[in-house]
Structure 1
Amino acid sequence: MRIVDVREITKPIASPIRNAYIDFSRMTASLVAVVTDVERAGRRVVGYGFNSNGRYGQGGLIRERFRDRILEAPPGSLVDEAAGTLDPHGIWAAMMTNEKPGGHGERSVAVGTLDMAVWDATAKIASKPLFRLLAEREGRAAAPRVFVYAAGGYYYPGRDDAALRAEMRSYLDRGYTVVKMKIGGAPLHEDQRRIEAVLAEIGAQARLAVDANGRFDRETAVAYAEMLRQYPLFWYEEAGDPLDYALQAGLADVYPGPMATGENLFSHQDARNLLRYGGMRPDRDWLQFDCALSYGLVEYLRILDVLGQFGWSPSRCIPHGGHQMSLNIAAGLGLGGNESYPDLFQPYGGFPDGVRVEDGHIVMPELPGIGFEGKSDLIQVMRELAE
């Protein structure tokens, strides 16, 4: 059993949208394939992965550093003989050879992208859905029914409140019970008007989360908190810079409702510092670490271990990114759910064909690996890279 090739291609995921910090007009993503010499059901096993939306492709790092470390490692160090499949932890260790601690920026995304493909291949070789493989390894029961929320509400050129309301209504019509919109890209009074327009549209059918994408300084974050606390929001997300733990901690004094952060923290050390110094409250707040951005599932398991040390349940994690890898982690490891993008970042976002949202939840299909083969538009693009 060997990995015979690792391939990467940078693909556009551009869209005429913006949040409080960036626009997506030139956004790209890396698509990778980990090719093995194993066959299942008459086809060579290939694991696929891609980095999460909102981060640029990592082709340079993948091709120049991490790919060769996998291919040059002793093949036996990459295989779990007892399990009869690949060893993601051994492969992760090979990728991180000669890497200094710290520096959890672009490197963590490159490794996370490859790690996704490795786990996809690992579960395919085992002929199991990844969520069931993970549950078995952790000695727990899988939970195929997963909560999902609809992320959208971006700023579009020339878009008015009526269009925003129509977008949110479309999510309710598709079965979602929680929707999310962007704030911080307009003055506070305009954002308040937009929020009230959405709340009027969704009524009691759903709850609204708002996301500032780390835009605010302390004064602005507090001003928004004082405005937002009058509404029954699902959460107030990422008010300030992700590493400004004092700002995050200070918001708890003025905002009693749930808050969420973590999508821009890329390691278990970052997670530990957030819980030490960020004032996050395990009875109401949410953690959004995204394995595709934070060195992959191998590191995400370390993050979950840190959460346990601080008394947090995995059920308080709802990952960023809207990809099927996090869906499998949620179903296999007992997370609180997952983000989804019903209309954006295609073909990478969304669910396998035939999967529908009902009462804010989906049921995981019984597909080997992550389940990419069940999404016809995505697997076509993936197979063009590998086959």
Structure 2
Amino acid sequence: MDIRITEVKEITLPISSPIRNAYIDFTKMTTSLVAVVTNVVRDGKRVVGYGFNSNGRYGQGGLIRERFAPRILEAEASTLLDQTGENLDPDRVWAAMMTNEKPGGHGERSVAVGTIDMAVWDATAKIAGKPLFRLLSELHGVEADPRVFVYAAGGYYYPGKDLAALRAEMRSYLDRGYTVVKMKIGGAPLTEDLQRIEAVLAEIGSEARLAVDANGRFDLETAIAYAKALRQYDLFWYEEVGDPLDYSLQATVSEFYPGPMATGENLFSHQDARNLIRHGGMRSDRDWLQFDCALSYGLCEYRRTLAMLQRHGWSSRRCIPHGGHQMSLNIAAGLGLGGNESYPDLFQPFGGFPDGVRVEAGYITMPELVGIGFEGKSDLCRVMHDLAE
């Protein structure tokens, strides 16, 4: 069969919310939803791969429609296939998208490519008739582990949200099976944030651990002030203390904070990730890396990032991606990451798990759904099928 991609469709959709973190509010947040349509038929239906970009970055419709999708459709179909000619080769599709792109300048380009890349991998796994995490483990010669650690991300600033409401939110995550919860800091004065932290710690007690996230807000002086204040708590991590490209700031703050730190969600290439490892003072025995494939050129690039980490003595288990989407869940299960972020109540229908998947003692078990598994999440499936059809 002459396998080919026949269409690449995109629609920009709102995922707005009145929440805010230390840097931005989400009242006008959007995402791009992409459908990569193929001429392959499975069980009487054409194979369509789906993808979308993570929260925190806006939809990339212009770049997708005007630059990257046309390159895929203009490429000779055979150049996008694997050596057997019986399936797509995501690396070759990725190379076609990046034709005539200069090095560097990653920015929004990496989000557009990562969105399409997700859809290509979904289609590839569907053509193969396998869950993506199973396909990835086979490609890399490793054993898949369907059981994946997840933590609950929340604790945003919200109009009228007092300490009681914050405590109730965190309690709801524990009631749903999470053992690690995360809250935002840096959007209020230090003294107020410490009150918020202590309220959450009082609520969760020994039932769970707490991580805090500054969303890159702090200058060096403020980051160190928070580090000194946070040392009194046994936190799961202290996240993204300053500008993600200020590796010197990250390295300096680590000297004042002996506990685990986390960063990486706003680094969008394996080169930027490499600079973090080289110059950011990250400690491979305790710190966490949050690179998000949906924002950083996709899984093709993420595999290059993982190879770089291995060369620098880092385990893939130190990676817990940002974004809370099923793509990273598949990577975690297939390539042995340390877990994945989860947004139990936000950014729907794009976040969360397939219907029926429950968090148990901080872990979920991946269902054996073909592709990424989007079709197992009914509210998301409806939106995706509306685009493809």
**Normalising by the residue count of structure 2, what TM-score does the alignment of the two structures yield?**
0.99
Residue matched to 1:254: 256
Corresponding position: 1:332 with 2:334 = yes
Corresponding position: 1:43 with 2:39 = no
**One-letter identity of the residue aligned with 2:263:** T
Corresponding position: 1:157 with 2:185 = no
Q: Which of 47, 58, 61 is residue 60 of structure 2 equivalent to?
A: 58
Q: For each residue in 1:278-332, what CA deviation from the matched residue of structure 2 results, as whole angstroms up to 9, or x when unmatched?
A: 0000000000000000000000000001101110000000000000000000000
Q: For each residue in 1:144-170, what CA deviation from the matched residue of structure 2 results, as whole angstroms up to 9, or x when unmatched?
A: 000000000000001100000000000
User: Which whole-Å CA distance do the structure 1 matches of 2:255 and 2:152 have between them?
Assistant: 29
Q: Which of 175, 180, 183 is residue 182 of structure 2 equivalent to?
A: 180
Corresponding position: 1:239 with 2:246 = no
Residue matched to 2:386: 384
**One-letter identity of the residue aligned with 1:95:** M
User: Which whole-Å CA distance do the structure 2 matches of 1:342 and 1:253 have between them?
Assistant: 34
Deviation at 1:253, TM superposition (A): 1.1
Deviation at 1:104, TM superposition (A): 1.0
Deviation at 1:359, TM superposition (A): 0.4
User: Which whole-Å CA distance do the structure 1 matches of 2:24 and 2:81 have between them?
Assistant: 41
User: Which whole-Å CA distance do the structure 1 matches of 2:366 and 2:9 have between them?
Assistant: 28
Residue matched to 2:97: 95
Deviation at 1:81, TM superposition (A): 3.9
**One-letter identity of the residue aligned with 1:17:** I
User: Which whole-Å CA distance do the structure 2 matches of 1:45 and 1:81 have between them?
Assistant: 20
Q: 1:133 to 1:83 in 2, by over 3 A?
A: farther
Uncovered stretches (5+) of structure 2, i.e. residues with no partner: none
Residue matched to 1:121: 123
User: Which whole-Å CA distance do the structure 2 matches of 1:261 and 1:283 have between them?
Assistant: 15
Question: Contact 2:324 / 2:340 at 8 angstroms: preserved in 1?
Answer: yes
Q: Which of 137, 145, 148 is residue 146 of structure 1 equivalent to?
A: 148
Deviation at 1:143, TM superposition (A): 0.4
Residue matched to 1:203: 205
Residue matched to 1:222: 224
Residue matched to 2:19: 17
Q: For each residue in 1:338-385, what CA deviation from the matched residue of structure 2 results, as whole angstroms up to 9, or x when unmatched?
A: 000000000000000000000000000000000000000000000000
**One-letter identity of the residue aligned with 1:47:** G
User: Which whole-Å CA distance do the structure 2 matches of 1:362 and 1:224 have between them?
Assistant: 33
Of 16-25 and 82-91, the range deviating more from structure 2: 82-91
Residue matched to 2:8: 6
Residue matched to 1:276: 278
**One-letter identity of the residue aligned with 2:53:** N
**One-letter identity of the residue aligned with 1:206:** A
User: Which whole-Å CA distance do the structure 2 matches of 1:184 and 1:121 have between them?
Assistant: 40
Residue matched to 2:35: 33
Question: Contact 2:78 / 2:85 at 8 angstroms: preserved in 1?
Answer: no
Corresponding position: 1:356 with 2:358 = yes
Q: For each residue in 1:177-207, what CA deviation from the matched residue of structure 2 results, as whole angstroms up to 9, or x when unmatched?
A: 0000000000000000000000000000000
Q: 1:367 to 1:137 in 2, by over 3 A?
A: same
Q: 1:83 to 1:260 in 2, by over 3 A?
A: farther
Question: Contact 2:110 / 2:268 at 8 angstroms: preserved in 1?
Answer: yes
**One-letter identity of the residue aligned with 1:190:** E
Q: Which of 302, 314, 321 is residue 312 of structure 1 equivalent to?
A: 314
Deviation at 1:84, TM superposition (A): 2.3
Residue 153 of structure 1 aligns to a residue in which SS? coil
**One-letter identity of the residue aligned with 1:275:** I
User: Which whole-Å CA distance do the structure 2 matches of 1:85 and 1:259 have between them?
Assistant: 41
Q: For each residue in 1:3-28, what CA deviation from the matched residue of structure 2 results, as whole angstroms up to 9, or x when unmatched?
A: 00000000000000000000000000
Q: Which of 362, 371, 382 is residue 369 of structure 1 equivalent to?
A: 371
**Normalising by the residue count of structure 1, what TM-score does the alignment of the two structures yield?**
1.00
User: Which whole-Å CA distance do the structure 2 matches of 1:350 and 1:41 have between them?
Assistant: 27
User: Which whole-Å CA distance do the structure 1 matches of 2:176 and 2:351 have between them?
Assistant: 15
User: Which whole-Å CA distance do the structure 1 matches of 2:130 and 2:287 have between them?
Assistant: 33
**One-letter identity of the residue aligned with 1:82:** T
User: Which whole-Å CA distance do the structure 2 matches of 1:4 and 1:68 have between them?
Assistant: 11
Residue 46 of structure 2 aligns to a residue in which SS? strand
Q: RMSD across aligned C-alpha pairs, in angstroms?
A: 0.6
User: Which whole-Å CA distance do the structure 1 matches of 2:368 and 2:325 have between them?
Assistant: 17
Deviation at 1:83, TM superposition (A): 6.9
User: Which whole-Å CA distance do the structure 1 matches of 2:155 and 2:44 have between them?
Assistant: 44
User: Which whole-Å CA distance do the structure 1 matches of 2:378 and 2:297 have between them?
Assistant: 27
Residue matched to 1:84: 86
Uncovered stretches (5+) of structure 1, i.e. residues with no partner: none
User: Which whole-Å CA distance do the structure 2 matches of 1:43 and 1:148 have between them?
Assistant: 33
* Sequence identity (%): 80
Residue 11 of structure 1 aligns to a residue in which SS? strand
Residue 80 of structure 1 aligns to a residue in which SS? coil
Residue 13 of structure 2 aligns to a residue in which SS? strand
Deviation at 1:109, TM superposition (A): 0.1
Corresponding position: 1:300 with 2:302 = yes
**One-letter identity of the residue aligned with 1:331:** A
Q: Which of 111, 132, 135 is residue 134 of structure 2 equivalent to?
A: 132
User: Which whole-Å CA distance do the structure 2 matches of 1:238 and 1:104 have between them?
Assistant: 19
Q: Deviation above 4 Å: which 4+ runs of structure 1?
A: none
Residue 304 of structure 1 aligns to a residue in which SS? helix
